[in-house]
């Protein structure tokens, strides 16, 4: 949550910072601000709401910008204190000489604040962050060195932080330091950058240094010196930046979400080309260190949040069937507080697109401490969660900018499918025919996904007819129960229409009371053992006058009259159907939200990486 940037160099500092913040908007958009250092002191500009407001503030106050040589910036997802200008970063010390931006949470801020107030420090915000400013400032006043003050100050803080810090009397440097929150340094000639994430430096630098927890960097125009909190200098390797600038362009799509939905067939094609080459070859782990003896795994727990949790639910359904191993799926935020039976024979899989979700990281860390083997499934191999991994399974979905997860969900499902089949081959737990059929089914997916996407215009029309409703219900059975939850989540998060997903069999145990002509029901129908029962549930819905929308891979003329709208997908095997059935629901949510004028890529109150528990 929150994005921070820093820059020192010859380019127009305000523009560089704003540009960096623009590409970190997915991390939060409650308020923003920058501090510019022109050697005579700091000019601080802040704005509430979206980053565009900060652009306006700076445009209007352009004459106030002197000749800055460095600066820091922040985009906020509010945790402590409302999204007001006072709470927006950067925060200044009482004498105005020290300024910082912060991503993370200072957990002991209440105690520190009480102590600092007693000592006469004055607070101007409700944030936890302001305590850090005063703690470091207090140290500076004792030792007179910014580097030393930061080193001493951060050791008094508990919780998570990534900071960029400047001091008026040491105008040639920015200090960057982190614990449990990401931070990178981008290296270039006569200039250096600091950022929470790579998109902020894409196209600007070719080499980056990843800071690890407990590392502090003194960044000047011509040097970056990294040390630990005891002051020992560390040799850090600069790595080539692995992202192509192209990926942060919308490529003509109105929103990143629509672009990312449309990328799905190619992602699936690319992943299959590496791991499931044809029907007869064994699944190829190809460079993925699946350092797991599948014959020794006694139980599996999959831990995740949100959309990633839905991918885990599908995996449980499929893997228990294919592998015969008990699979427990749990929201990471719940796993943490429960006595569980994870132990040495356990395989714990953490699924996280960002790899920065605090709940999932904490849960995985706990599981590791209990002796479980840890497999991390993530779209960001450079993220914090991989620290705890015995094996890492990269999603290869490419960077996802839209806050609502789409392509990463598909990539998560696909990862769980191919690894599932890989494990099947180790355990010999399916017949050769069954295995070959599943591989064939996977290989046919990209073309089938393209067929679904070519139906977008029809889905858009359906969306425009449904956007007047205040509430929708999604139902499904079997592996697609998660598809119903995911369809509903996608709709509510970007359109703000209330949407709830249910196992269809549960409808009659309560939610059916909600049904009338004002409550459309989206029914996800896959072929196989759940189909007949799903049709019965649809009859029950119809009998209560609710409009039914089918999302289905089953061609069933006899059932067509039940439905007001049918969003068809090509026929596919039952277990593989979640990969296809999800796509019309992504498009439905997208077009409903867009037709209501919502800010699709940046829904209110959300952020892409949820780095707080
Ligand atoms: C929904 C969405 C969130 C994330 C959740 C976990 O569209 O994006 O529900 O899935 O915050 O995030 P990761 O996968 O990064 O751990």
* The pLDDT of residue 340: 84
The answer on 325 and 263 residing in a single domain is yes
How far, in Å, CA of 104 to CA of 466, rounded? 39
How many angstroms does the Cα of residue 400 sit away from the middle of ligand 1?
A: 11
Report the residue among 305, 409, 604, 612 best suited for mutation to probe ligand 1: largest number of ligand atoms under 8 A from its CB: 305
How many angstroms does the Cα of residue 243 sit away from the middle of ligand 1?
A: 21
The answer on 57 and 195 residing in a single domain is yes
Could you tell me which of 257, 263, 247, 253 has the C-alpha nearest to residue 446? 263
* The pLDDT of residue 347: 94
Is position 508 annotated as part of the catalytic site? Answer: no
Report the CATH number that the domain containing residue 371 is assigned in CATH. 3.40.50.10490
- What confidence category does residue 63 fall into, taking pLDDT thresholds of 50, 70 and 90? confident
The answer on 199 and 50 residing in a single domain is yes
How many angstroms does the Cα of residue 486 sit away from the middle of ligand 1?
A: 11
Q: Is 379 in the pocket of ligand 1 (CB under 6 A)?
A: no
How far, in Å, CA of 266 to CA of 251, rounded? 15
Give pLDDT tens digits for 429-455.
Answer: 999 999 999 999 999 999 999 999 999
Report the percentage of the chain scoring pLDDT > 90.
84
- Report CA torsion sign: 248, 253, 259, 265: negative
Is position 608 annotated as part of the catalytic site? Answer: yes
The answer on 165 and 80 residing in a single domain is yes
Please give the average per-residue pLDDT across 133-154, as a whole number: 98
* The pLDDT of residue 251: 85
The answer on 190 and 275 residing in a single domain is no
Please give the average per-residue pLDDT across 545-569, as a whole number: 95
How far, in Å, CA of 531 to CA of 540, rounded? 14
Backbone angles phi, psi at 413, to 5 degrees: -60, -50
Q: Is 308 in the pocket of ligand 1 (CB under 6 A)?
A: yes
Give pLDDT tens digits for 232-277.
Answer: 999 999 999 877 766 778 889 999 999 999 999 999 999 999 999 9
How many angstroms does the Cα of residue 182 sit away from the middle of ligand 1?
A: 17
DSSP codes joined into one string, 144-212 = --HHHHHHHHHTT--EEEEEEEEEGGGTT-EEEEEESS--EEEEETTEEEEESSGGGTTTT-SEEEEPP
Query: Which of 443, 476, 509 corresponds to the end of one domain?
Result: 443
How many angstroms does the Cα of residue 611 sit away from the middle of ligand 1?
A: 11
- Report CA torsion sign: 527, 528, 530, 534: positive
Total of domains in the chain = 3
How far, in Å, CA of 34 to CA of 166, rounded? 12
* Minimum CA distance residue for ligand 1 atom 16: 352
The answer on 353 and 466 residing in a single domain is no
Please give the average per-residue pLDDT across 371-398, as a whole number: 92
- Report CA torsion sign: 167, 168, 169, 170: positive
Q: Is 362 in the pocket of ligand 1 (CB under 6 A)?
A: no
* Minimum CA distance residue for ligand 1 atom 7: 404
* The pLDDT of residue 341: 86
How far, in Å, CA of 314 to CA of 87, rounded? 41
Dihedral Cα 396, 397, 401, 406, nearest 10 deg = -150
Phi-psi region of 437 (alpha: psi -120 to 50; beta: other; left: phi over 0): alpha
Q: Is 493 in the pocket of ligand 1 (CB under 6 A)?
A: yes
Contact 522, 474 (CB under 8 A): yes
Please give the average per-residue pLDDT across 106-115, as a whole number: 94
Q: Is 360 in the pocket of ligand 1 (CB under 6 A)?
A: yes
How many angstroms does the Cα of residue 131 sit away from the middle of ligand 1?
A: 30
Exposed e or buried b for every residue in 431-458, given b needs 16+ CB within 10 A?
Answer: eeeebeebbebbbbbbebbeebbeebee
Quick one: DSSP state of residue 125?
S
The answer on 313 and 243 residing in a single domain is no
Q: Is 306 in the pocket of ligand 1 (CB under 6 A)?
A: yes
The answer on 278 and 209 residing in a single domain is no
End-to-end CA distance of the chain: 11
Exposed e or buried b for every residue in 213-242, given b needs 16+ CB within 10 A?
Answer: bebbbbbebeebebbebeeeeeebeeeebe
DSSP codes joined into one string, 252-312 = T-SSHHHHHHHTHHHHHHHHHHHH--SSSSPP--TT------TTT--EEEEEE-HHHHHHH
The answer on 295 and 155 residing in a single domain is no
Query: Which of 417, 443, 469 corresponds to the end of one domain?
Result: 443
Please give the average per-residue pLDDT across 360-370, as a whole number: 94
Report the residue among 27, 197, 302, 307 best suited for mutation to probe ligand 1: largest number of ligand atoms under 8 A from its CB: 307
Active-site residue among 2, 164, 305, 538?
2
| CB hemisphere CA count around 404 (13 angstroms) | 32
Q: What's the chain's average pLDDT? A: 94
Backbone angles phi, psi at 416, to 5 degrees: -70, -30
Report the CATH number that the domain containing residue 45 is assigned in CATH. 3.60.20.10
- What confidence category does residue 305 fall into, taking pLDDT thresholds of 50, 70 and 90? very high
Contact 345, 355 (CB under 8 A): no
Q: Is 357 in the pocket of ligand 1 (CB under 6 A)?
A: yes
Query: Which of 198, 218, 247 corresponds to the end of one domain?
Result: 247
Contact 376, 389 (CB under 8 A): yes
The answer on 340 and 369 residing in a single domain is yes
Distance of CA 200 to the CA centre of its chain: 16
Please give the average per-residue pLDDT across 305-326, as a whole number: 97
The answer on 124 and 57 residing in a single domain is yes
The answer on 276 and 289 residing in a single domain is yes
Give pLDDT tens digits for 198-223.
Answer: 989 998 999 999 999 999 999 999 99
Residue 613 pLDDT exceeds 80 = no
How many angstroms does the Cα of residue 37 sit away from the middle of ligand 1?
A: 36
* Minimum CA distance residue for ligand 1 atom 11: 306
Q: Is 610 in the pocket of ligand 1 (CB under 6 A)?
A: yes
- What confidence category does residue 61 fall into, taking pLDDT thresholds of 50, 70 and 90? confident
Domain interval for residue 275: 250-443
* The pLDDT of residue 325: 95
Q: Is 411 in the pocket of ligand 1 (CB under 6 A)?
A: no
């Amino acid at each position: 949550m929150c994005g921070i940037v820093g820059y020192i160099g010859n380019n127009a500092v305000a523009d560089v910072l704003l540009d960096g913040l623009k590409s970190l908007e997915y991390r939060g958009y409650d308020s923003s601000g920058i501090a510019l250092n022109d050697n005579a002191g700091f000019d601080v500009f802040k704005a509430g709401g979206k980053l565009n407001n900060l652009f306006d503030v700076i445009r209007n106050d352009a004459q106030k910008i002197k000749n800055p040589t460095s600066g820091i910036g922040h985009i906020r997802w509010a945790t402590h204190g409302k999204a007001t200008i006072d709470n927006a970063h950067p925060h200044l010390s009482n004498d105005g000489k020290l300024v910082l931006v912060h991503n993370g949470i200072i957990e002991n801020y209440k105690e520190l604040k009480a102590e600092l107030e007693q000592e006469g420090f004055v607070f101007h915000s409700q944030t936890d962050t302001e305590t850090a400013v005063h703690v470091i400032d207090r140290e500076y006043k004792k030792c007179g060195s910014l580097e030393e003050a930061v080193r001493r100050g951060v050791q008094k803080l508990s919780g998570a932080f990534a900071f960029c810090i400047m001091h008026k009397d040491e105008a040639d440097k920015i200090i960057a330091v982190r614990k449990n929150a990401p931070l990178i340094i981008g290296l270039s000639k006569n200039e250096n950058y600091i950022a929470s994430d790579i998109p902020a430096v894409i196209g600007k630098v070719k080499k980056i240094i990843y800071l690890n927890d407990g590392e502090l960097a003194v960044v000047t125009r011509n040097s970056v010196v990294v040390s630990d909190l005891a002051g020992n200098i560390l040799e850090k390797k600069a790595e080539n930046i692995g992202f192509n600038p192209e990926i942060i362009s919308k490529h003509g799509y109105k929103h990143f979400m629509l672009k990312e939905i449309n990328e799905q067939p190619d992602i699936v094609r690319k992943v299959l080309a590496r791991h499931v080459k044809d029907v007869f070859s064994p699944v190829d782990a190809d460079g993925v260190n699946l350092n797991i003896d599948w014959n020794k795994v006694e139980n599996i727990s999959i831990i995740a949040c949100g959309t990633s949790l839905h991918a885990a639910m599908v995996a449980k359904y499929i893997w228990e069937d294919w592998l015969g191993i008990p699979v427990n799926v749990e929201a990471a935020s719940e796993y943490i507080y429960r006595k569980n039976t994870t132990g040495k024979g356990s395989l714990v899989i953490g699924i996280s697109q960002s790899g920065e979700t605090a709940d999932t990281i904490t849960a995985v860390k706990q599981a590791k401490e209990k002796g479980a083997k840890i497999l991390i499934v993530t779209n960001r191999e450079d993220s914090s969660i991989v620290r705890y991994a015995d094996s890492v399974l990269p999603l290869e979905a490419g960077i996802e900018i839209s806050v609502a997860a789409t392509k990463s969900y598909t990539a998560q499902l696909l990862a769980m499918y191919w690894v599932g089949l890989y494990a099947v081959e180790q355990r010999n737990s399916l017949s050769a025919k069954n295995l070959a059929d599943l591989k064939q089914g996977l290989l046919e997916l990209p073309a089938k996904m393209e067929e679904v996407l070519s139906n977008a215009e029809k889905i858009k029309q359906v969306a425009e007819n449904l956007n007047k409703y205040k509430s929708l219900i999604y139902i499904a059975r079997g592996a697609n129960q998660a598809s119903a939850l995911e369809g509903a989540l996608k709709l509510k998060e970007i359109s703000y229409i209330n949407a709830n997903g249910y196992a269809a069999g549960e409808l009659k145990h309560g939610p059916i009371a909600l049904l009338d002509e004002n409550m459309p029901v989206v029914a996800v129908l896959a072929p196989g053992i759940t189909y007949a029962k799903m049709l019965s549930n649809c009859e029950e819905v119809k009998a209560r006058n609710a409009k039914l929308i089918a999302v289905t891979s089953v061609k069933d003329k006899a059932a067509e009259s039940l439905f007001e709208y049918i969003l068809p997908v090509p026929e596919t095997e039952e277990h593989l159907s979640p990969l296809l059935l999800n796509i019309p629901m992504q498009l439905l949510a997208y077009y409903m939200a867009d037709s209501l004028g919502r800010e699709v890529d940046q829904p209110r109150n959300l952020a892409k990486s949820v780095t707080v528990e």
